[in-house]
Amino acid sequence: MSYEGPDPDGFDDYYNNAPGNPGRRPRGTRTRPLLITTAACAVAAGAIWVVTQAVGGSGGGDTAKVLPAPSRSATSPTSATSSAGASDEADAKEPNGSPSKAPSTASPSAPASSKTPSKPAGGGTGPLAGKVVVIDPGHNPGNFRHPADINRQVNVGNATKECDTTGTSTNAGYTEAQFTLDVSRRLRTLLQEQGATVKFTQNGDRAWGPCVTERAAIGNQAGADAAISVHADGSGAGNRGFHVILPASVHAGSADTRPIVASSRDLGERVAGKFLQVTGQPPSNYIGGGTGLDTRADLGGLNLSTVPKVFIECGNMRDAQDAARLTSGTWRQKAAQGLSEGIVSFLRG
């Protein structure tokens, strides 16, 4: 099925549904300078990306560089455009035939949930022996068949929002849910090779979901040393690059991210640096002011986490250049490698 329409998903997960939106969506927090390890990278137009090469010193040369903070000022987090709620850890719902605000004669098709789908594996020897990593492949290939279920409102501490969303796709129909599962599986293999115990929030083995609340809970219950939610964005053509999303400090209702803000930032900066280094994918030219980092207070998967956690948007599926990468198995392996190296760096301190 093709996800049709004028980029109805807007920006993945959060952004509004405005097609061709040059990249601004309201949000409260803004990114700060990023300490990033170096790499050659294409400089996105308009981005203030200043990468320092460890000139002459490839060895040990992970030079850190502080990037200038974007000067975007925060806007109200509410005006997110379009329909109620608009955004979440899943791109806005994609119409494609399936009514998003669906009839609520929900079939009682209970999610095959409650117990976590994937079993830990690994846990062997290696530098990550004893470490637990939870990988959250964003969305679920079956979500669009269960609109009533995924549109159900859940409490994310400071708001209510949809249980989950469908995710976006490339113009040719390669879905974000396929992408996230593929990258996540590759990442799992790499982490297990390092001795880590890896759990998934879903592995394509359930009809839909889980809800964002459960995605967070799985990481919490596993006592994860690190958790990462894998996504790709659905913005307008010309918007390119990756960004890592960090939890803002949220203390509301059942959400309290205060204990994980600093550790998640550390994780996110390392992931961003290694992702850039390994994939050559530039930092976003439409989010984060060229830092490759963004901070958000409206994502249930972060708000409800009690373990260090970040999201990554690996690229924009609606941009031809990014789509060419995202649909390449070779590139997805690099993406997984970059994520793995970032997580390993974090876990090894």
Q: Which is nearer to Zn ion, 122 or 210 (CB)?
A: 210
Strands 35-36 and 309-316: unpaired
- 296 near Zn ion (CB under 5 A): no
Tell me the CA distances in angstroms from 260 to 76, 250, 289, 301, 312, one per residue in order: 24, 10, 24, 13, 17
Measured at the CA of 222, the angle between CA 326 and CA 182, to 5 degrees, comes to: 15
- 138 near Zn ion (CB under 5 A): yes
Binding part of the chain for Zn ion, among 10-18, 51-59, 102-110, 320-328 by CB under 5 A, reads 10-18
Window 250 to 269, contacts with Zn ion (CB under 5 A): none
Binding part of the chain for Zn ion, among 32-40, 136-144, 301-309, 321-329 by CB under 5 A, reads 136-144
Cβ at position 136, least distance to Zn ion in Å? 10
- Which of 7, 8, 11, 12 touches Zn ion (CB under 5 A)? 12
**158/163 Cα distance (integer angstroms):** 15
Active site residue 269: no
Window 157 to 176, contacts with Zn ion (CB under 5 A): 167
Site string for Zn ion, 92-131 (x = CB under 5 A): ----------------------------------------
C-beta pairs of 114-120 under 8 Å, 24+ apart in sequence: 116/199, 116/200, 116/201, 116/218, 116/221, 116/222, 117/200, 117/201, 117/202, 117/203, 117/205, 117/206, 118/198, 118/199, 118/200, 118/202, 118/203, 118/205, 119/199, 120/197, 120/198, 120/199, 120/222
**310/305 Cα distance (integer angstroms):** 10
Cβ at position 176, least distance to Zn ion in Å? 5
**326/335 Cα distance (integer angstroms):** 9
Catalytic residue, candidates 89, 214, 313, 341: 313
Cβ at position 71, least distance to Zn ion in Å? 27
Q: Which is nearer to Zn ion, 30 or 139 (CB)?
A: 139
Cβ at position 335, least distance to Zn ion in Å? 14
Window 176 to 235, contacts with Zn ion (CB under 5 A): 231
**75/168 Cα distance (integer angstroms):** 25
Cβ at position 210, least distance to Zn ion in Å? 14
Q: What is the DSSP letter of 348?
A: H
Number of residues that bind Zn ion (CB under 5 A): 6
Residues binding Zn ion (CB under 5 A): 12-13, 91, 138, 167, 231
Known catalytic residues are: 313
